């Protein structure tokens, strides 16, 4: 696994700082739903660990974690299907902690939509949430370059206008910035044979995506 303790902190504020534009939630306003999603979190001392969220609302999350942290400690996490969240440990629980979530109203609306999808996808047999249709590209082989310059060959499983699934021998931490071909992206998902990445800016045409997958 690549990525030291600072991986989750790239382009993020210090764990001791919450941007003023974000508002802390009154957890009583939100009802948590049962989910089962994986992620990674970073404590205030920048140690990074894997985690699983068992219950979540747009205002707080119940997290199963190997290291629980302390009350009041700032947390930054990347959660599958939800993305980056930040907040504070408000209660320790068996095997983990409950954290509140500091977010803008727009971010809370987006989380509410994602949580609705997560809680209903199995019951309604919904397909995996995709903002854009995914296709198998004409160009299957490309390169992934990390910020420190390390370069890896990869195989494209599928692509869309907003991201790609790639076979890769390494597993950069979620949230790690990478360059796929000539496109800037970040890692948003791990799976057994590789990772999923989200492009820094959504492409307008799949032909452009495929042209940019070419190796430099």
Tell me the HSE value of 90 on the side-chain side, using a 13 A CA sphere: 15
Q: Which of 3-7, 146-150, 182-186 comes out lowest in average pLDDT?
A: 3-7
Confidence of residue 44 (pLDDT cuts 50, 70, 90): very high
How many residues are present in the chain? 216
Beta bridge partners of 87: 75, 101
The stretch 170-178 carries a mean pLDDT of: 90
Mean pLDDT, the chain, rounded, equals: 77
Q: Is the pLDDT of residue 2 over 60?
A: no
Higher pLDDT, 17 or 91: 91
The stretch 169-173 carries a mean pLDDT of: 90
Other Cβ atoms closer than 10 A to 23: 15
Tell me the HSE value of 37 on the side-chain side, using a 13 A CA sphere: 26
Tell me what pLDDT residue 30 has: 79
Confidence of residue 209 (pLDDT cuts 50, 70, 90): low
Q: With pLDDT > 90 as the criterion, what percentage of the chain qualifies?
A: 28
Tell me what pLDDT residue 204 has: 47
The stretch 56-65 carries a mean pLDDT of: 93
Tell me what pLDDT residue 120 has: 67
Tell me what pLDDT residue 16 has: 36
pLDDT digits (tens, 9 = 90+) for 114-150: 887 777 665 544 445 444 556 777 778 899 999 899 9
Confidence of residue 13 (pLDDT cuts 50, 70, 90): very low
Cβ–Cβ < 8 Å for 72, 79: no
Q: Is the pLDDT of residue 174 over 70?
A: yes
């Amino acid at each position: 696994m690549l990525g030291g303790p600072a991986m989750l902190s790239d382009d993020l504020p210090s764990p001791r700082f919450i941007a003023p534009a974000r508002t802390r939630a009154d957890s009583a306003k939100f009802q948590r739903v049962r989910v089962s999603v994986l992620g990674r979190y970073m404590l205030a001392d920048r140690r990074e660990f894997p985690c699983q969220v068992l219950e979540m609302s747009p205002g707080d999350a119940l997290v199963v974690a190997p290291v629980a942290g302390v009350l009041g400690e700032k947390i930054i996490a990347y959660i599958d299907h939800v993305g980056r969240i930040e907040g504070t440990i408000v209660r320790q629980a068996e095997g983990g902690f409950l954290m509140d979530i500091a977010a803008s109203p727009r971010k809370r609306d987006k989380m509410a939509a994602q949580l609705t999808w997560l809680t209903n996808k199995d019951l309604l047999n919904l397909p995996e949430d995709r903002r854009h249709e995914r296709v198998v590209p004409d160009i299957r082989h490309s390169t992934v370059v990390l910020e420190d310059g390390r370069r890896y060959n990869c195989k494209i499983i599928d692509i869309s206008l907003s991201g790609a699934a790639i076979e890769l021998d390494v597993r950069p931490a979620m949230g790690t910035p990478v360059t796929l071909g000539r496109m800037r992206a970040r890692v948003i998902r791990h799976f057994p044979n590789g990772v999923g990445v989200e492009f820094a800016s959504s492409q307008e045409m799949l032909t452009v995506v495929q042209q940019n997958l070419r190796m430099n």
